Amino acid sequence: DPIVDYADDRLSTMTLDERIRSMFMIHLAGTNAGALSSYAAGTGAGGLILMGDNIPEPEGALGAITAQITGDPGLPILLGIDQEGGVVRRLFSDEAASAEQLRALPPAAATEAFAARAALLASAGVTVNFGIVADVTGDTTSFIYDRSMGSSPATAAERVAAAVAGEQGAVLSTLKHFPGHGVAPGDSHSSIPATGMGLEQWSAEHAEPFRAGIAAGAELVMVGHLQFDAVDPQPATLSPVWNGILRDDLGFDGIIVTDDMGMLQNSGRADLSDPASNAIRAIAAGSTLLLYVGPVDLTAMSAAVQSAIDAGAISVEQIDDAARRLLELRRMLSGETGPFVRCFAECQAIIR
């Protein structure tokens, strides 16, 4: 596989610092393409998330901005966005049906809606959509109700799979918020919603939409800051148990991305107040990509992760596995299949 060969060859030339930095998706406010491009390249991050403050007026100008951010055409940076439709959307020209509407429509409507949504994003240069909510809830007072596509596992699963099918070939699909926000009351932006639900009940009532989305081909799963005390008394983003369930029980082999890591600190919990500790715990748990909407010092983060490796809290193999998965995904997006060629010092001396 030329993509795998490319990733292996490129990984072999990357320093540990570069590998760690590639595991972060970060954010910079503004619509200055030069500033965004320099920031992405200068930090060495593997991805950039676009928020409302990155959307120009008119929206159609976004494609010209993203074209300058992607960097190396052979290994483009991941450009992510939250485009669920309805109450959560960054591009307001998206008038396709939202989850709230889709729960009352046949599953085929989800395919149509997300195909239109994905086409809009692709035309703007976005490559990753954090847009498919796989949470299940019938509770109209729930924080996630208006964003969920079903009140039962079966109805949600049908629409989640259909949404993934709609996005295929246009943008990379993300299922969220594993293991399921529908059962945990509260808003994970400002707290750590918790539940006493056990694994058997979760598997029967909340796993099905994630299974269906994975089977349909979703490339990413976003893990939420949700705590199932009977399974693991820590947020799922920091839980080796939940990451193991996602990999081993649900058979997911793609990119495990965290929800915004800054939300952990916003919870007010003392044990989640240190951003470096949170990052180390997320990587140790099995996260592939760490998402930051707020400020993050990647130099300090990389140093902290390297110290954790020295202390035995994280293995180099974990870093390499995550970096390789991301290299393969980014190489696939480039559309190129040639071998990785790097001009080292001896080569540089000749061509100069």
Per residue in 180-193, pLDDT tens?
Answer: 988 877 788 888 99
259 flagged as catalytic: yes
181 flagged as catalytic: no
The active-site residue, picked from 189, 253, 297, 321, is 189
Report which of 157, 331, 188 is spatially closest to residue 260, judged by C-alpha positions.
188
- All residue ranges of the chain with pLDDT < 70 are 344-345, 347-348, 351-352
pLDDT value of residue 298: 97
The rounded distance, in Å, linking the Cα atoms of 287 and 130 is 16
pLDDT digits (tens, 9 = 90+) for 19-77: 999 999 999 999 999 999 999 999 999 999 999 999 999 999 999 999 999 989 999 99
With beta carbons less than 8 A apart as the criterion, state whether 99 and 85 touch. yes
The active-site residue, picked from 94, 135, 232, 259, is 259
Residue 186 burial (CB count, 10 A): 17
pLDDT value of residue 143: 84
The rounded distance, in Å, linking the Cα atoms of 245 and 252 is 9
